[in-house]
Structure 1
Amino acid sequence: MKFNSNPVRGTFDVLPQDMELRNWVQDTIKKVYRERGYMQIETPCIENLDLLNDGEGGENLRLLFKILKRGEKLTFDELSENALCDLGLRFDLTLPLSRFYANNRNELPTPFKAFQMGYVWRAERPQKGRFRQFTQCDIDIIGDKTIYAEIDILLTLPKAIESLGFKNFTIKINDRRLLKDIVVGAGFKEEDFDSICITLDKMDKVGQEGVTEELVSKGYRKEDIEKLLAQLNTNIGNFDNQYARELQKAIDVVSKYYPIEFEPTLVRGMGYYTGAIFEIVSDEFRGSIAGGGRYDNLLSKFQRDSIPAVGFSIGFERIVTILKEKNFKIPKEQKKIALVFTEDELLDQVINRIEDLTKEGNIATMVNVTRNKLGKKISQLEEQGYEVEVIK
């Protein structure tokens, strides 16, 4: 039987040259995060299913990859998914971070400034820039309820984006509490807010017509929908409350360094967001390349006291896709040197030369070829970015 050698749809193999780019992107982001005082952590890729199902993941709960129970735990008395499964693959890094913090709180500083990078999984319909397995790069601040946490994050993540060579980007910012005022003011019930947000979050994909159709299919009145869409065309000066004033403060500070604007239609799909929400959009990609917000209630699932938190995540795969399409070349700090030899008696000389080169901080490799293939091999190595030394 011959097996299909293609990766599972929505996933991908990473070739060496692509891995080099991915590593450079991650290292560049990590450098900025560390310079701004964020500490790296890691969490497991699997979590208990009851936690994931209760994680207020919005639409992502429909995209959850679930894992069957194993051994004696697996019975077929009830054939529902939740009866057959007890674990799932994480759909983002925020929920695992919340569990991590609750489990390790006594060993962590307050506020806790963390960053985390790793794969997450969603049963998406694969398309350009959207995969079933993809990397997220998150920064979060836990334990700071003030707007200064948002300001810190809004100055840090764009710095990472800028360090990757992106210039034409804008930060979009809103507040879920202001959005709720708009929704309720348009005549909708407060308990319908999350359902309406799930639909509004599709605005950039389906437009106002698509949003209207979906809200009508959910049973809402067309006149209320039209009023809601009209009221979304507003500015922050039309609000007179603490949330708007804090948001304006963040905009005033961040605008000195990066383009930022109030966007009342910004929703963010996750149900756990409680306050300010933000995205970064780029002229070089249709859609956002980063997103996040405040999620003050998520940690209350694990402990009695309420702990404030805010986070921001880079769309890593979208960044890599854009850089590849631009034929981006990694800034070279290390020389890549290939030592080519054709005779066995030259091996000790080659190894000694490799030791010297690596001590100097270079990347060195040895390649043994036959004389009649020497020219072809040199050309191949040069295409891979190596300087070639032929040892004679």
Structure 2
Amino acid sequence: MKFNSNPVRGTFDVLPQDMELRNWVQDTIKKTYRQRGYMQMETPCIENLELLNHSEGGENLRLLFKILKRGDKLTFDELSENALCDLGLRFDLTLPLSRFYANNRNELPTPFKSFQMGYVWRAERPQKGRFRQFTQCDIDIIGEKSIYAEIDLLLTIPKALYELGFKNFTIKINDRRLLKDMVVKAGFKEEDFDTVCITLDKMDKVGEDGVTQELLDKAYEEAKVHKLLELLNTNIGGFDSEHAKELQKAIDIVSKYYPIDFEPTLVRGMGYYTGPIFEIVSEDFRGSIAGGGRYDNLLSKFQKDSIPAVGFSIGFERIITILKERNFKIPTMEKKVALVFTEEQQLKEVIDLTEKLTGGGSLVTNFFVNRNKLGKKVNQLEEQGYEVQVIK
């Protein structure tokens, strides 16, 4: 029996040359995060299913990869997913960070500026730039309630993108509280807010007509729908609230360094967002390449006191996709040297030279090659970007 060698749909193998690019992108992002005072931490890939199911993860809760109970814990008395499963793969890094902070709070500074990079999983319908397994690169600030936390994030993520060679992007910013005010003012009930937001979140994909039709299909009154779409054209100056003033403060400061626009239709899919929300859109990709927002209530799942928190994440796989389409070359790649020898007695010379070159910062590999295949091997190594030295 022959097995299919392709990776699971929505996942991918990473070739060595692609791994070099991924490592360089991660290292560049990490360097920027560290320069801005963010400390790296890590959480497990799996979390308790009960926690995941009560995370206010929005549409992502339908995309959970669940793990069957093991051994004596697994019974078939009730054949439901939640009865058979007790763990799940994390669908983002924010919920695990909240659990991490609650568990390690006494060991951490306040405010806690953290970053985490790692795989997350969602049972998506695979398409360009959207996978079932993908990497996220998050920064978060826990314990700071002022708008200055958002400003710090909004200056850090674009800096990382600049270091990666991205210039033609725009930050889009909104506030869930302003959005809720518009929904209620249009005549919708407060309890309709999340349902309305699920539809509004599709604005960039289906346009205003598509959003209108979907809201009408959900049996909302036409007058309310049109009133909401009218309010969504309001600029930031049209709001008289502290939330709007704080948002304007962030826009005024960040706009001196990076392009930023108020976008009243911006929703963000996660239900746990409580205040400012933001995305970065690029002309090189349809959709956002980074996103985040404030989630002040998420940590209350673990403790009585409310702790403010805000985070921002780079869409790592989308960045990689864009760079590969550009045929991007790593600008700071170490020198790669391949030492090729054809006689066993040359081994000591090869080892000595390897030690010397690696001591000087080069990446060195060596190969013992049949003399008849020497030319072919040299050509192959040069195609892989190596400077080839044949030991004679």
Note the 1:59-70 alignment, pairs <5 A. Answer: 59-70=59-70
Q: Secondary structure at the match of 2:390?
A: strand
Deviations 1:127-156 (A, max 9, x none): 000000000000000000000000001000
Deviations 1:217-262 (A, max 9, x none): 3221122111111211110000011100000000010001000010
Name the residue aligned to 2:78.
78
When the two chains are superposed, the root-mean-square deviation of aligned CA atoms in Å is 0.8
In 2, the alpha carbon distance for the partners of 1:217 and 1:97 equals 37
The alpha carbon displacement at 1:214 in A equals 2.1
Q: Secondary structure at the match of 1:286?
A: strand
Name the residue aligned to 1:335.
335
TM-score by length of 2: 0.99
TM-score by length of 1: 0.99
The alpha carbon displacement at 1:215 in A equals 1.7
Name the residue aligned to 1:241.
241
Name the residue aligned to 1:200.
200
The alpha carbon displacement at 1:74 in A equals 1.0
Name the residue aligned to 1:351.
351
In 2, the alpha carbon distance for the partners of 1:345 and 1:332 equals 35
In 2, the alpha carbon distance for the partners of 1:325 and 1:310 equals 32
In 2, the alpha carbon distance for the partners of 1:56 and 1:167 equals 34
Q: Secondary structure at the match of 2:144?
A: coil
One-letter amino acid of the counterpart of residue 78, structure 2:
E
In 1, the alpha carbon distance for the partners of 2:46 and 2:209 equals 38
Return 191-200 or 368-377, whichever deviates more: 368-377
Q: Secondary structure at the match of 2:131?
A: coil
In 2, the alpha carbon distance for the partners of 1:35 and 1:75 equals 51
Name the residue aligned to 1:304.
304
In 2, the alpha carbon distance for the partners of 1:209 and 1:83 equals 41
Name the residue aligned to 1:15.
15
Name the residue aligned to 2:28.
28
In 2, the alpha carbon distance for the partners of 1:324 and 1:355 equals 33
One-letter amino acid of the counterpart of residue 37, structure 1:
G
Name the residue aligned to 2:373.
373
Deviations 1:235-291 (A, max 9, x none): 000001110000000001000100001000000000000000000000000110000
The alpha carbon displacement at 1:368 in A equals 1.5
Name the residue aligned to 1:285.
285
The alpha carbon displacement at 1:212 in A equals 2.1
Name the residue aligned to 2:382.
382
The alpha carbon displacement at 1:209 in A equals 2.3
Q: Secondary structure at the match of 2:120?
A: strand
In 2, the alpha carbon distance for the partners of 1:129 and 1:89 equals 20
Deviations 1:285-305 (A, max 9, x none): 011000000000000000000
One-letter amino acid of the counterpart of residue 97, structure 1:
L
Name the residue aligned to 1:228.
228
Matched, 1:216 2:216: yes
In 1, the alpha carbon distance for the partners of 2:84 and 2:216 equals 35
Q: Secondary structure at the match of 1:311?
A: strand
The alpha carbon displacement at 1:42 in A equals 0.4
In 2, the alpha carbon distance for the partners of 1:323 and 1:42 equals 26
In 2, the alpha carbon distance for the partners of 1:213 and 1:370 equals 70
In 2, the alpha carbon distance for the partners of 1:222 and 1:373 equals 75
Matched, 1:99 2:95: no
Structure 2 unaligned runs (5+)? none
The alpha carbon displacement at 1:349 in A equals 0.3
The alpha carbon displacement at 1:78 in A equals 1.2
**Would you say how many aligned residue pairs link Structure 1 and Structure 2?**
392
Identity %: 82
Name the residue aligned to 1:56.
56
The alpha carbon displacement at 1:374 in A equals 1.4
Deviations 1:184-220 (A, max 9, x none): 1111001111111111111111222222232223221
One-letter amino acid of the counterpart of residue 137, structure 1:
C
Structure 1 unaligned runs (5+)? none
One-letter amino acid of the counterpart of residue 49, structure 1:
L
Matched, 1:271 2:271: yes
Note the 1:31-180 alignment, pairs <5 A. Answer: 31-180=31-180
Deviations 1:343-392 (A, max 9, x none): 11101100110001111111001011122221221111111111111111
One-letter amino acid of the counterpart of residue 307, structure 1:
I
One-letter amino acid of the counterpart of residue 238, structure 2:
N
One-letter amino acid of the counterpart of residue 229, structure 1:
L
In 2, the alpha carbon distance for the partners of 1:258 and 1:98 equals 29
In 1, the alpha carbon distance for the partners of 2:202 and 2:80 equals 29
One-letter amino acid of the counterpart of residue 79, structure 1:
L
